């Protein structure tokens, strides 16, 4: 596993902390890019490793869709040659599913032109994955199944983001074994503070025994209520203990963010990032901060990987287009 690749596990053993929402919106923002914010488009793989499959339904993906999922990928016999791309839902199908879902819920509205993706790929999940914890328990290399599956395709993506279940079981361990970075969303409520020490201890254990390349990418304060003294207290405590690891961007508790899955698309696609659409604006701000943090970490390690989109465009004989779109 390349220790310099951007593979981020979005993890917190506490549920209800906007973990899936953060993974989905960050993956979408990094994939599609935003020239005004200085975010170049990137080829991104989003892995739904939660049996609830909420990352998949965030794009309107029908769980009854007859496609292979991450469950089948993890259950393949060790050593068998796999093409992970056979398990992925590509941008065209994701766009179709989002637009279909939006139209079903908003029959009197036109489908927004921005409701599409071009560079995002999804490894979906569904309820079958709930049995994986038990089935993996007796399998060889149970902690590293995902890492082994991703190894052949790592160079096919600029970023890989993994949404994990709200637990520290085998599925989450697989995510942390495959990742180089961990992003921790922290709900701005008191109980979230109590779980942080347990999570950090678990991360240190994974670092020692499974993945010594795993590092903290950042901590994002979510579901923040500006007028709440409790929210202010939790943010203050998190910043006091974790300092610069905490993103400056704070994700507010907003109905627009909560309602986005109903329309079958991430809020960063449903709403323009304007002052009146603070949910979209803040997630785009988090994406910009993440992009800058990725660039900073790459500079620290002295690596400057070529953009996968640019490489593919040049291979297809269209370098001018991709240079204009991505820039330097």
Instruction: Read off the CATH number of the domain in which 158 is found.
Output: 3.40.50.300
Domain assignment of residue 326, yes or no: no
Joined together, the tokens standing for residue 175 give 């995510």
Domain assignment of residue 42, yes or no: yes
Domain assignment of residue 325, yes or no: no
Quote the pLDDT of residue 224.
Answer: 96
Question: Strands 159-163 and 181-187: what pairing?
Answer: unpaired
Domain assignment of residue 322, yes or no: no
Quote the pLDDT of residue 303.
Answer: 82
Rounded-to-integer distance, Cα 305 and Cα 4, Å: 9
How far CA 309 is from CA of 4, 121, 323, 326, 328, in Å, comes to: 18, 13, 10, 8, 13
Domain containing residue 134? 6-317
Domain assignment of residue 304, yes or no: yes
Quote the pLDDT of residue 302.
Answer: 82
Domain assignment of residue 327, yes or no: no
Joined together, the tokens standing for residue 177 give 């074994």
- C-beta neighbour count of 279 within 10 angstroms: 24
Quote the pLDDT of residue 1.
Answer: 54
pLDDT band with cut points at 50, 70 and 90 for residue 163: very high
Domain assignment of residue 305, yes or no: yes
Q: Closest Cα to residue 231, out of 275, 195, 186, 198? A: 186
How far CA 26 is from CA of 21, 23, 50, 229, in Å, comes to: 8, 5, 17, 27
Quote the pLDDT of residue 78.
Answer: 62
Domain assignment of residue 288, yes or no: yes
Number of domains in the chain: 1
Q: Where are the alpha helices (DSSP H) in 51-189?
A: 54-57, 70-75, 91-105, 132-136, 145-150, 170-178
Q: What average pLDDT does the segment 155-179 reach? A: 94
Report the predicted TM-score, pTM, of the whole model to 2 decimal places: 0.93
Q: Closest Cα to residue 161, out of 177, 145, 183? A: 183
pLDDT band with cut points at 50, 70 and 90 for residue 327: very low
Does the pLDDT at position 84 exceed 70?
Answer: yes
């Amino acid at each position: 596993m390349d220790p310099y690749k951007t593979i981020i596990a979005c993890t917190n053993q506490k549920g209800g902390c906007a973990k899936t929402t953060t993974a989905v919106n960050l993956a979408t923002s990094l994939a599609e890019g935003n020239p005004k914010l200085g975010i170049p488009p990137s080829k991104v793989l989003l892995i739904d490793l939660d049996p609830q499959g909420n990352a998949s339904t965030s794009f309107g993906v029908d769980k009854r869709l007859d496609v292979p999922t991450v469950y089948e990928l993890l259950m393949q016999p060790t050593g068998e040659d796999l093409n992970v791309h056979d398990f992925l839902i590509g941008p065209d199908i994701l766009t179709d599913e989002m637009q279909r879902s939006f139209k079903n819920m908003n029959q009197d509205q036109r489908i927004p032109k921005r409701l599409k993706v071009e560079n995002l790929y999804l490894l979906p999940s569904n309820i079958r994955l709930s049995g994986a914890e038990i089935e993996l328990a007796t399998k060889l290399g149970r902690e590293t199944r995902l890492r082994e599956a991703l190894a052949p395709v790592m160079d096919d993506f600029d970023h890989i983001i993994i949404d994990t279940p709200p637990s520290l079981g085998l599925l989450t361990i697989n995510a942390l074994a495959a990742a180089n970075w961990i992003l921790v969303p922290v709900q701005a409520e008191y109980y979230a503070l109590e779980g942080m020490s347990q999570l950090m201890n678990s991360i240190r254990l994974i670092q020692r025994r499974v993945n010594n390349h795993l590092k903290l990418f950042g901590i994002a304060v979510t579901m923040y209520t500006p007028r709440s003294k409790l929210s202010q207290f939790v943010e203050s405590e998190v910043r006091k203990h974790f300092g610069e690891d905490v993103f400056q961007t704070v994700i507010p508790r907003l109905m627009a963010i909560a309602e986005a899955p109903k329309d079958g698309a991430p809020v960063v696609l449903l709403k323009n990032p304007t002052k009146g659409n603070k949910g979209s604006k803040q997630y785009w701000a988090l994406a910009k901060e993440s992009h800058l943090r990725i660039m900073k970490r790459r500079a620290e390690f002295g690596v400057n990987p070529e953009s996968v989109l640019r490489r593919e465009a040049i291979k297809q004989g269209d370098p001018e287009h991709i240079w204009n779109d991505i820039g330097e």
